[in-house]
Amino acid sequence: MTAWNAFVSTNFAGDQACAECHEKEYQAHLRSGHSRTLTRMRETVLAERLAEMKSYQDPRREQTFEFEAIENQIFVRDPIHAPGVTVPVTWLLGSGTHAQTPIAVDESTQSGVELRWSFFPRSEAVGLTPDHQRYDDFEPGTIDCFGRPMDNADIRSCLGCHSTVSPPPSLPLRNDLFVGNVGCERCHGPRKKHVELAHQGRAGEIKPLLRYETAETYIETCAACHRDESSVDPNATANELVRFQPYGIQRSRCYLETPGHLTCSTCHDPHDTVSHDRATSIEQCQQCHGGGPSAECPQQPDGDCIDCHMPLVEWTTGIAFHDHWIRVQTAMVQE
């Protein structure tokens, strides 16, 4: 065990340890994608499925990938374009709400690859990884055969946003140094001490490491992964930006003109999976709009606010997000 592993086990208790006292949050978190953002490939249902499939034909390249499971570890090969190369698939990212994308991390070279195929639970099929149409051209005999090459920094940022704990850059990249999923302690800080004290009836003595008291600090915590203005590509198109909820909220007059009163919790339980109950969403808008200081809708005060002011926008084929920049869109006024 490394000093880093020791540090982690001394400070972090793990989600399971919270269940006995915070059953409600624990159960909600199990429903949320946060509890399944980063899984060892060998522990996934997809690994079994690939072993049964044996091969997969790329939809855009003249290329067939072959899968083999050896002691549950999934290996991928392309004997025609990359003879003699066998890539062990290390991690699976994404809960499956939209898509699950595998990556392979090679500790010996400190580099890796985002594989060209992903799993799409809605169609129950393996297909092209989102955005990989940009990598249709490839050089046989290189890692490009398998997908988008990743350097050390790419892998760390990828795993960093999908994990509870990730090792500092001073340590070499090793898969066992990461604690997967966006667990309780990613948002509440290491809590082992809290658990120990709570067992002695002294839970309140340990101060929370992360605070959600102001709307700014709240949204910044989420933006570390969900992204705001500081972390989006300035050349991104409007469609690319719809998946970055903090970016959208921070632009909305609902946020700007109600200082401190609007956070993600106004509309979501941060522990739970997103509710699709439209009546509840509309009520959340009407907390402010519908009498009181905020304006009522001159168009349809009893209509489905979300359809018009937070429409579902396709981000990539088959994956859509609700635009969190709540506004009167220009197209709407022209109609």
Among positions 224-283, residues that touch ligand HEC (CB under 6 A) are: 224-227, 243, 245-246, 249, 253-254, 257-258, 261-262, 264-268, 270-271, 273-274, 276, 278, 281-282
- Token pair in block for residue 187: 């948002």
320's enclosing H/E stretch is strand 319-322
95 touches ligand HEC by CB under 6 A: yes
Chain centroid to Cα 307, Å, comes to 24
Q: Least distance in Å: CB of 229 to ligand HEC? A: 12
Q: Which stretch binds ligand HEC (CB under 6 A): 1-9, 63-71, 139-147, 302-310?
A: 302-310
- Nearer to ligand HEC among residue 83 and residue 318 (C-beta): 318
Alpha helices (H) in 41-108, listed in sequence order: 45-53
- Nearer to ligand HEC among residue 84 and residue 291 (C-beta): 291
Listed residue (183, 166, 164) closest to 34, CA to CA: 183
Q: Least distance in Å: CB of 279 to ligand HEC? A: 10
76 touches ligand HEC by CB under 6 A: no
Q: β-strands 91-93, 101-106: how paired?
A: antiparallel
Instruction: Report the alpha-carbon distance of residue 331 to residue 321 in Å, rounded.
Output: 18
Give the DSSP letter string of 213-273: SSHHHHHHHHHHHH--GGGS-TT--HHHHTT-HHHHHTTSHHHHTSTTT--GGGT--TTSP
Q: Least distance in Å: CB of 308 to ligand HEC? A: 3
Q: Least distance in Å: CB of 67 to ligand HEC? A: 18
Instruction: Report the alpha-carbon distance of residue 162 to residue 184 in Å, rounded.
Output: 13
Q: Which stretch binds ligand HEC (CB under 6 A): 2-10, 58-66, 132-140, 322-330?
A: 322-330
Residue numbers 132-171 binding ligand HEC by CB under 6 A = 157-158, 161-162
Q: Please pick, from the candidates 32, 39, 44, 63, the single residue that binds ligand HEC as defined by CB under 6 A.
A: 32
Q: How far is CA 315 from CA 3, 58, 278, in A?
A: 42, 22, 21
87 touches ligand HEC by CB under 6 A: no
17 touches ligand HEC by CB under 6 A: yes
Token pair 């393996």: residue: 126
- Nearer to ligand HEC among residue 29 and residue 42 (C-beta): 29
* # of chain residues touching ligand HEC (CB under 6 A): 103
